[in-house]
Amino acid sequence: MSRYLAWSLVVGAALSTALCAPTTDRAWLPGDSHIHSHWSAGADRRRTPPTLIKGQDALYSTPRNAVMARQFGLRWMVTTDHGGPDHAKLNFVQAYRELTLSRALVPDLLQFYGMELNMPGMDHHTLIIPNADDEATVLREIESRFDANQDWQLPPDPGRRSAAARRRALAHLQSLERLPVLFANHPSRSATGIGMYGLDEPWEIRENNDLASDVYRGMEGAPGHQAATLSADGSRRPDPPRGPPPGRGNYRNRAAPTFGGFDQMTARVGGFWDSLLGEGRRFWIVASSDSHVHYTDSVRRGSDFWPGEFHKTYVLARPTYDDVLDGLRHGRVFAAAGGLVTTLDVSAAAGGRQAGVGGTLGAAASDSVDVTIRFTDPEIENAAGEDPTVRRVDLIVGETRGPASAPHRDWNWTTKVVARFGPADWTRDGDRYRVTTSLPASDEARYLRVRGTSTDALEPAPDEPGENPWHDLWFYSNPIFIEVE
């Protein structure tokens, strides 16, 4: 047995077995939906079929990722290795075997089986498979049939990269007995500018949600690779920006940067995400590490944090595979960076009824809506050895007016920051904070969402080369919908 595996066994035995304990209460469970391992392979195409080479795109084993995820406080994670030429076989035979080992070594971490699907005609997508005895077979069929890069024949079959193939994939996913969840990854990686899009266009995301509304549930609001600006010793590099590496289009010129670590599709108030919410779409955001190689690695310099080291996706769930996946599907989720907050409870109440994040409140046109925001700003150091403080919380409200007039629409002019709250506006109980306000009565359906920051910026600024990610922290809740009865 290797020294690493022996150490993992000790760690796994020592960690709490709370995931096995019965519970009826949901809690905010931090996780990471997008993690690569050394099974994100390269390919030697000089042979037919190509020879897959482990560790070409990412370095670490699944057990090592799991141990690091647990070290940084995660309760769940998803393995999302890239597809590629004939990768479905490698994934089924070898990667899945290592995942089952990892589950045994780190038993109190929920470890979902999934992949980063090369979506036909689009960019990468996270696919999360429900935990069941046939999960490996289910994923092998999906990858074999629908991953755009699975085909190793030359010239490649253009049909695997077509819109028709994408539609067939979504129809298959929606037809499965146990429904997976699918999120668009780094959707603006190939964008050519602010409000200009590349491989993931607004009309495609809308169509995907229409075709598989129970499966296609959101996007990466906060993409990974946030450590690209850091040198191995933690000092800042002057050249690279935060966020995903260059994709296609003009992204390498940073025409479409992230904003406070969040994708432009999420970060722009009244932008694309708000246009979807303004149609009443239940479409959620998550955050991830997209971890391939850690920025301190001496073998090959990376641009990544460990799972949970910087971004976390919190799901309000019981500590079971089924309930975490249910929380991701139904939007009981918030995304946070840098340990800024560890809980975020938002509630809307009217007429004796109440709804929380991801929920829907029915209210009369004459009812005002009471909004309560509670958050935990922990008095502990984060992974950078700092204790950041929430400087402001914003309440964002937009109207819900039904289907968009055009499928490419990426704006909702009704969405505004209706209130900004600082320390003078909230009450404190230890590291727990509470702020309350009311929305006036309205005969318009609407939604509300919350964000907060460690900065004084009224809006997140474009992330610049050399920026310290630890000093520009934001968190975002998913919405609550208010329907007029």
Q: What is the pLDDT of residue 238?
A: 83
Contact 191, 255 (CB under 8 A): yes
Q: What is the pLDDT of residue 256?
A: 82
Give the separation between CA 293 and CA 313, rounded to whole angstroms: 20
Q: Indicate the angle between helix axes 3-14 and 96-105, nearest 10 degrees.
A: 50
Beta-strand (E) ranges in 60-179? Answer: 76-82, 110-118, 124-129
Give the separation between CA 62 and CA 245, rounded to whole angstroms: 23
Q: Which of 1, 85, 100, 77 is nearest to 43 (CA)?
A: 85
> 295 exposed, middle or buried (CB, 10 Å; 0-12, 13-18, 19+)?
buried
Backbone angles phi, psi at 323, to 5 degrees: -80, -35
Beta bridge partners of 449: 396
Give tens-digit pLDDT for 58-73: 999 999 999 999 999 9
Q: What is the pLDDT of residue 442?
A: 97
Give the separation between CA 82 and CA 115, rounded to whole angstroms: 6
Beta bridge partners of 125: 117, 184
Q: What is the pLDDT of residue 4?
A: 34
Give tens-digit pLDDT for 176-223: 999 999 999 999 999 988 999 999 999 999 999 999 999 999 999 999
Q: What is the pTM of this model?
A: 0.93
CATH class of 26-484: alpha beta
The b-or-e profile of 113-126 (16+ CB within 10 A means b, else e) is: bbbbbbbbbbbbbb
Q: What is the pLDDT of residue 88?
A: 96
Contact 241, 257 (CB under 8 A): yes
Domain ranges of the chain: 26-484
Q: Which of 15, 25, 13 is nearest to 320 (CA)?
A: 25
Q: What is the pLDDT of residue 22?
A: 39
Q: What is the pLDDT of residue 254?
A: 55
Contact 31, 72 (CB under 8 A): no
Q: How many CA atoms lie within 13 A of 341 on its CB side?
A: 30
Residues in the chain predicted with pLDDT less than 50, given as ranges, are 1-23, 247-253
Cis peptide before 156 (omega within 30 of 0): no
